[in-house]
A = this chain, B = another copy of it.
């Protein structure tokens, strides 16, 4: 029987990419039905005019729903809602949807990513509008929180940068000096969404390159939260323990874990963890590459870090670890849910350089969202994917 799916905010880049993943899935496993597409500002537009890449589906099969308002969806009949709405309004919408007990939600906005309401307020400039829901939410970094995600009704898909960085750094948290983390991140322009702003006009971006968000990019809050958690888990488990899933019985970033983490003694310094994170805008459509400069703890090495990757990602379908001296590049991941990782020795003894690459619309948004849907449905995490990059 088909899973009935709705996409809220289907006209943006992430929403449209989700639609592509879901149609592809239909071709493969035929286990989903795209039941509703909401796009408040486009209710009167045809899908073909906004998303011409799906034009052929309209005439042939008739199974592309029209854009509608989210209020007009029959939510009682929906199994999974992907929420690709702007930050802020998401809270309100999901609060409304919460009354439908059989509905599970993967939220691609930032509204439920930060466990701490105080942090949310600090980064987003206003009090959280749905604190009770925040308590229900699980952070959807699939490879690290599979069990929690599987048990959750509300999964907060990571920010694109946060996904790329945490996949590279979380397994290394105990092996490096977390006070000396410098992360240089570069992103294609879809990372900014379909925002109609002067700075994203073709002629403003093309042939240019610059850093931005110097006063602090919001994704750094997710990164620091993830690192703190990883360190705390490690302490709890004892050095060297832990295993692949960060969450053991109690889901660490999910409903019951807040207090657990809060009580981890001996880690008073964790809340001061600060990393440097500088994002740059690169003239290309898709792709994030992160380059992290890390100081090893005494006794650690490239080799021990690679072993940590292998432990963390053993059996992970979407993680590839470059072992042959090659470096991650974004084009070879274009259109996929994969993440490439590599570790190199730095010129400075005792330091390493770590790379991660993803497609920001794939592993950084729609791909990870569908992976989370699989986890929530108890399926293999790569079920319904056909993960072949478009090159060139």
Expressed in whole angstroms, the Cα–Cα distance for A54 and B214 within the complex equals: 23
Answer whether A327 and B392 are a contact pair too, CB < 8 Å, given A196-B201, A332-B53, A348-B276: no
Assembly of this chain: how many copies? 4
A56 in complex: contacting residue of B206, B320, B328, CB < 8 Å? B320
Q: Which of A269-314 contact B (CB under 8 A)?
A: 274-278, 280, 282-287, 289, 291, 293
Is A252 positioned at the interface, with any CB of B under 8 Å from its CB? no
Chain B residue nearest in CB terms to A287 = B209
Distance A190 CA – B206 CA, assembled complex (angstroms): 11
Residue of B54, B188, B216, B346 touching A347 (CB-CB under 8 A): B216
Given contacts A184-B291, A186-B186, A284-B208, contact A201 B200 (CB under 8 A): yes
Contact of A190 among B293, B334, B355, B392 (CB under 8 A): B392
Q: Which of A2-10, A22-30, A152-160 contacts B (4 or more CB under 8 A)?
A: A22-30
- Which residues does chain B contribute within 8 Å of A188, judged by CB atoms? 207, 209
Asked if residues B327 and A210 are in contact (CB atoms below 8 Å), the reply is yes
Measured CA separation A289–B20 after assembly (Å): 23
Residues of B within 8 A of A52 (CB): 326, 329, 332
Interface residues contributed by chain A, number (CB under 8 Å) = 91
A320-B56, A330-B209, A347-B274 given as contacts; is B196 within 8 A of A198 (CB)? yes
Contact B289 A330 (CB under 8 A): no
Q: Would you call A145 an interface residue if the criterion is a C-beta within 8 Å of the partner chain's C-beta atoms?
A: no
Alpha-carbon gap, A287 to B202, bound state (A): 14
Supplied contacts A24-B388, A49-B326, A282-B282, 6 more A-B pairs, CB within 8 Å: A56-B338, A60-B317, A202-B205, A202-B285, A214-B327, A276-B293
Q: Which 8 A-B pairs have the closest CB atoms?
A: A182-B293, A208-B331, A210-B329, A184-B184, A203-B392, A53-B389, A27-B386, A52-B332
